[in-house]
Each structure stands twice: as C-alpha cells, then as structure tokens.
Amino acid sequence: MAEPKEPKAKQSFPPDAVTREYAESLDAADPLRAFRDKFIIPSKENLKTKKLAKPGLSPEPCIYFCGNSLGLQPRATSQYMEAYLDTWSSIGVIGHFRDLEDSPLKQWQLLSEQAAEQMSRLVGAKPAEVAVMGTLTMNLHLMLASFYTPSQTKHKILLDWKAFPSDHYAIESQIKWHGRDPNESMVLIGPDEEEHVIPTSKILSIIDEHASDAALLLLPGIQYYSGQLFDIETITRHAQSRGIVVGWDLAHAYANVELKLHDWNVDFAVWCTYKYGNAGPGAIAGLFVHEKHGTVDYSQGEDKPVFRPRLTGWYGGDRAVRFKMDNKFKPIPGAGGFQVSNPSAVDLTCLCAALSVFNKTSMTEIRKKSVRLTGYLEHLLLEGTTDESRPFRIITPSDPNARGAQLSLLLKPGLLNQVAQALEDAGIVCDKREPDVVRVAPAPLYNTFTEVWEFVKQFKAALAM
C-alpha cells in the first residue's frame, strides 16, 4: 500500500500574536501585500444597499472571507472587457482572426489557448494538457463519457461521501446512462462516525476493497464542507496501481493550493474558476487530460486518426483543417481535442483578466502566504480556550498539508443564525452551511492578517451574545 504523507507541524506564534499590532506587523512584512490593490473590495455600505451601486460608495471596505464561493473582481477585468467590446464594435467578426496592437487579448479564436497556457501553470500541467471550456459539471460529464467505461466486472465509481450535489448527480446519471443501478455501482467513501476528515489510509483501504470491480475513482481535491485537502499524489498512485482510472474535482483546489497534475499522473481533472480563481460568477471552467490520453495516431492514414473515444464537437477539431467543413474529425492533440463548442469570448476575457494577476506571482508564493494566514486564523480562534469551553470546533484538519485556505467551524446547535447575523452586521462576508457550519476562507491575494484578527474578535463576540 502507498504510504500517506507525514503531517506537517502546526505553526507557532509568539504571545503578542493576539494583538492587532502583531497582525499589522505581519501585513507590513507580507511580500504579496500589493496584490490587494489589484482587486475591488466591496464596501460595508454597499453590502447593505438594495440598489445597483458603484464600487467605493464608502471608504470602509468589508472583510471578504468568501473566496471559496466567489472570488472578488480584479481591477483588470474592466480593462479587459473594454478591449473585448472595442474589438467587437470596431472590427466585428474579424476579431476572431486578428491580433490588435495594445490589446491584452489575442484574437478570439486563440483566446482559449491563451487562457489554457496561463492556467496550466496554476495546476502543474503542460499547456496542451489543459482546456478552457464550459462549466465544471458539463466538463465532468464529458470526462466521464470518455473515462468511465464500465464492464460487466468493473463498473463501480468510488466517490466522496459528501460529494458536492452536482458531482453526485453527474456520477449517478452516468451510471444510469450505462444501464446500471447506482445503488450497486456507487461506493461512498466517508469518515469514521462523528468525524468529518477521511484519513488517507482509509481511502487506500477502500480502494483495495473494491479494486476488483471499481472502474473509476472521483474525489474532490478539497472537500467543500470540511475543507480537507486530499493527498492527491498518494491516492492517485495507489488507485492506478489497482487498475482504477482516477479523476479529481478541483473546484476548491484550483488557484488555492499547489498542484502537479502532470507529475502526479492524474488521468483527468475538472475545475471552476470563479472561486479562488476570481474569474466571475459562473465563469468558464477548465479541465485537464494527461498527455497519455490525448495522443492522436495517424499511422493508419490521414483520414483515419485513432484517439481516445469522447463526445466530440467542432471546436475540438484541429484548427488547420477546422474550416474545411468536410465533417472528418481530426482532434487537436491533448486536452484541446475534448473541446466541443465555440467558447464565449466574454467568459474568456474575464478569465484572462484574472489570470493576468496570477501571472505576476506564483502558486508557491500564494500558498506560502495562505498557510501563514490560515495558521494565524486557527491560532487566534483557539487562543485562550479549551476544547470543553469552546462553543465551536474546527473540523478542517490542523495539518497545513491537509487543508487549503478554508477553515470550517462547526458551531454548537442553535448558534449559526445569531453568529451569521452578527458577522453580517459587522460587514464580514463568509459562508454558512446548514445546520451549523461557518466556512471562513481568507484569500492570500486580497485578504490581510489584520482582517483575520478583526474577524476573530467579531466572531468570538457573536458567540458570547
């Protein structure tokens, strides 16, 4: 059995870490502090208005800890959108084929490649292994159509016990599409009773238990409810050694933690870009297909390409012959060959604007601050309390290697609404999940240590009301 990674020690902080002055000193020394100015932070006053408002209605920004649901708007977005609109208004359809001077965007026909090349750096992939298209669930369906090929003996899909509903629905429907019973073909991997974290050793043992009849493993890189970051490398290697195809939903891992999809030999992955990726609500999504699955073989003749079966569309065809319109599909080698439709240039524009911010740093630097930021949050939450006295429990792993930017706080029953209302009144935006969880996600590109300090102050006051 593959060996899980050793836990990383928790961070230590000095006695004065509980002071606002200490938080401010961390901000002053933060090498990423200038990135905050690259985003538009909603004001506290705007959060209360019910009319369409301009940014900066009041000078006091809110504390926005909800990047795990929707990231903030980069200031570059308006510049990129203006370039898109000017291109459309000035040259119309020619915008598909002409690069314009002074525009941050390539011709529309190449925009998806522009985004994929930049996005590949965030997921540890070769540019040809990434495609920008559709939405997360649509892409998951397309990947399952290609990678879930059940046989009479190997038909099960192993998945998270608390999978995000759209993932659960997609898997369930794919199993039914193949004429099988989800009750027999879905295996839910869950934690031990009354726990929320699933040990890697348990995942590996369940893989072994079902190795003879499992066709595919699909897990979230980060579990949306608990915030647990799975050991993608170890789990992937172990499942593949048992003859199981491995896919990952990276909705909460993309632009949040360091990923090495190519080196980890992941078969496929899908993700959205509107959370930590800051590409806008419902933004265009991404997918990864390892290069071993994206080859196109012409050894049988130019008109008889051999490639991995998939649901095909016009936009997945090689651009060199795409406009011949001869209905002879020759897929783009790599993930691009899994594209289906002409992607929205508006969506790609917003994504490219967000990626332009990430281009100015690296996931290594982003992750370094994130670990420190989340560690500070954990330290302040637990400081001065005991397990017995505390009216909440952090259900996210304490090991920094087993979590991203999110801490999930499980409150004692009956506290959620009062705490959520108090945080809202204080101009703090974070996410609640019924019945008793508050998800807090300080994003390293635009959140500060001082905001963490202020949040904990308001959170503890709300608990004491």
For residues 333 and 294, is the Cβ–Cβ distance under 8 A?
A: yes
The per-residue DSSP string of 106-168 comes to --HHHHHHHHHHHHHHHHT--GGGEEEES-HHHHHHHHHHHH----SS--EEEEETT--HHHH
Alpha-carbon span 369 to 375, nearest angstrom: 10
- The answer to whether 274 is a known ligand-binding residue is yes
Alpha-carbon span 282 to 270, nearest angstrom: 14
Alpha-carbon span 415 to 418, nearest angstrom: 6
- The answer to whether 252 is a known ligand-binding residue is yes
Alpha-carbon span 258 to 241, nearest angstrom: 24
Alpha-carbon span 89 to 174, nearest angstrom: 42
Cβ neighbours of residue 102 closer than 8 Å, sequence gap 6 or more: none
- The answer to whether 80 is a known ligand-binding residue is no
- The answer to whether 4 is a known ligand-binding residue is no
- The answer to whether 137 is a known ligand-binding residue is yes
Region of 368 on the Ramachandran plot (φ > 0 left; ψ -120 to 50 alpha; else beta): alpha
- The answer to whether 445 is a known ligand-binding residue is no
- The answer to whether 164 is a known ligand-binding residue is yes
- The answer to whether 136 is a known ligand-binding residue is yes
- The answer to whether 295 is a known ligand-binding residue is no
For residues 29 and 21, is the Cβ–Cβ distance under 8 A?
A: no
For residues 46 and 60, is the Cβ–Cβ distance under 8 A?
A: no
Alpha-carbon span 147 to 137, nearest angstrom: 15
Nearest 10 degrees: Cα torsion 270, 276, 277, 282? 70
Alpha-carbon span 167 to 171, nearest angstrom: 6
Secondary structure class of 445 (helix, strand, coil)? coil
Secondary structure class of 306 (helix, strand, coil)? strand
Alpha-carbon span 68 to 89, nearest angstrom: 35
Peptide bond into 435 cis (omega under 30): yes
Beta bridge partners, 444, equal none
For residues 400 and 371, is the Cβ–Cβ distance under 8 A?
A: yes
Alpha-carbon span 446 to 63, nearest angstrom: 10
Q: Which residue has the tokens 């990047």?
A: 67
Alpha-carbon span 128 to 130, nearest angstrom: 6
Look at the chain and count its residues. 465
Per the annotation, binding residues are 136-137, 164-167, 249, 252, 274, 314, 342
Per the annotation, binding residues for pyridoxal 5'-phosphate are 136-137, 164-167, 249, 252, 274, 314, 342
